């Protein structure tokens, strides 16, 4: 939940469009009865709402939306990262009428790689625990175990991986896929474990859920150089084990929230937003308890690889 961030309301009939802020933030459309119609975000709220109005002149779903808008509520942020994180959480918790519905799965599966005695990595389907420590990398989120198996089978087919060396094909000697020319021969000693493992990881990497690389909760610090009226100059995002615990306008508020933070379930969209922000160096990092600056391990890793 976002703390202390200011909300500014604009009545569509009573305020000119120019009253909308020209900065980053989250906006909400309400109808005459106060029902929430839509939540969106932008680095320039004024420009984005103008686009909504222009799109609303054409027949269709967008016209139905804009014809009902009576009030626009704006929640300003110090930057785009805050707008993205707040929008993501708000859509899922507030369930606006015109936003795409987000399906919440009660149980998820993920892939964990284990090293076999012959040095080949075997992908295993395990339960994905929604809360708690993220101590090792896993790959992907799946609705059931069958989807994990299907994903591995498709990767093997498309990239000549060996199902036998990955534990999905029993027997000895050449696997069936190798007999069909669809396996590069790890099962008969024609491909090394190093080569096979590297290709498998390359294909799974885009679905990687990285182990939490910090000792405890973290503050992502986002700052704008030239804030407009009512826009916060700095904001602090409290994150722990990739779960976003809210946006705060002061370090003290964020620190207080650490001790009272409840367990937040892992959210794939929030994870991607947070990981990207850290990996690209778009935020400064602070220890949430001591407030001391931290070295960005993902940025250092990226720079070393380039």
**Domain at 61, CATH number:** 3.40.1440.10
Measuring CA to CA, which residue among 41, 112, 45, 36 is closest to residue 273?
41
Res 303: pLDDT: 72
Residues 113 and 193 in one domain: yes
Judge whether 286 lies within some domain. yes
* DSSP-assigned letters across all residues of 198-251: HHHHHHHGGGEEPPP-SSS-EEEEEE-SS--TT--SEEEEEEETTEEEEEESSH
Last residue of a domain, one of 38, 70, 94: 94
Res 170: pLDDT: 86
Residues 79 and 145 in one domain: no
pLDDT digits (tens, 9 = 90+) for 111-138: 999 999 999 999 999 999 888 889 999 9
Judge whether 261 lies within some domain. yes
Measuring CA to CA, which residue among 227, 226, 223, 216 is closest to residue 291?
216
Rounded to whole angstroms, the Cα distance separating 73 from 92 reads: 18
Bridge partners, residue 41, by sequence: 26
Judge whether 123 lies within some domain. yes
Last residue of a domain, one of 187, 209, 231: 209
Last residue of a domain, one of 209, 235, 255: 209
Residue ranges, the chain, pLDDT below 50: 1-5, 13
Judge whether 102 lies within some domain. no
Judge whether 252 lies within some domain. yes
Residues 118 and 146 in one domain: yes
Measuring CA to CA, which residue among 10, 161, 139, 165 is closest to residue 72?
10
Res 119: pLDDT: 96
Res 10: pLDDT: 58
For the chain, the domain total comes to 3
Residues 66 and 141 in one domain: no
Rounded to whole angstroms, the Cα distance separating 253 from 127 reads: 35
The boundaries of the domain holding residue 226 are 218-305
Question: Which tokens in the block code for residue 138?
Answer: 């896993």
Residues 200 and 224 in one domain: no
Res 9: pLDDT: 57
User: What would you report as the CA-atom Rg of the chain, rounded to the nearest whole angstrom?
Assistant: 24
pTM, whole model, 2 decimals? 0.88
- Evaluate the CA torsion angle 282, 288, 290, 291 in order and state its sign: positive
Judge whether 104 lies within some domain. no
User: Which residues are CB-contacts of 40 (< 8 A; sequence separation ≥ 6)?
Assistant: 26, 27, 29, 48, 52, 87
Residues 28 and 78 in one domain: yes
């Amino acid at each position: 939940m976002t703390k202390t961030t200011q909300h500014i309301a604009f009545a569509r009939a009573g305020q000119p469009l120019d009253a909308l802020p020209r900065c980053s933030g989250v906006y909400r459309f309400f109808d005459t009865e106060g029902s929430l119609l839509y939540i969106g975000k932008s680095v320039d709220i004024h420009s984005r709402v103008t686009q909504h109005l222009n799109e609303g002149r054409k027949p269709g779903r967008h016209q139905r939306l804009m014809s009902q808008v009576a009030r626009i509520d704006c929640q300003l942020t110090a930057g785009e990262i805050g707008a993205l994180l707040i929008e993501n959480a708000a859509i899922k918790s507030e369930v606006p009428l015109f936003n795409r519905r987000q399906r919440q799965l009660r149980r998820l599966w993920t892939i964990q790689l284990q090293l076999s005695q012959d040095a080949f990595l075997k992908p295993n389907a395990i339960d994905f625990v929604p809360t708690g420590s993220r101590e090792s990398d896993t790959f992907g989120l799946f609705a059931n175990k069958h989807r994990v198996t299907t994903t591995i089978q498709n990767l093997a087919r498309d990239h000549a991986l060996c199902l036998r060396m990955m534990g999905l094909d029993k027997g000895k000697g050449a696997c069936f896929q190798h007999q069909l020319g669809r396996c590069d021969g790890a099962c008969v000693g024609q491909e090394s474990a190093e080569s096979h493992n590297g290709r498998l990881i390359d294909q799974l990497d885009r679905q990687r859920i990285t182990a939490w690389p910090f000792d405890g909760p973290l503050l992502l610090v986002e700052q704008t150089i030239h804030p407009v009226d009512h826009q916060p100059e700095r904001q602090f995002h409290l994150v722990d084990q990739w779960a976003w615990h809210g946006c705060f306008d002061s370090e003290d508020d964020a620190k207080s929230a650490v001790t009272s933070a409840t367990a937040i379930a892992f959210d794939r969209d929030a994870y991607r937003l947070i990981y990207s922000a850290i990996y690209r160096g778009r935020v400064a990092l602070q220890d949430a308890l001591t407030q001391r600056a931290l070295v960005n391990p993902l940025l250092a890793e990226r720079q070393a690889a380039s």
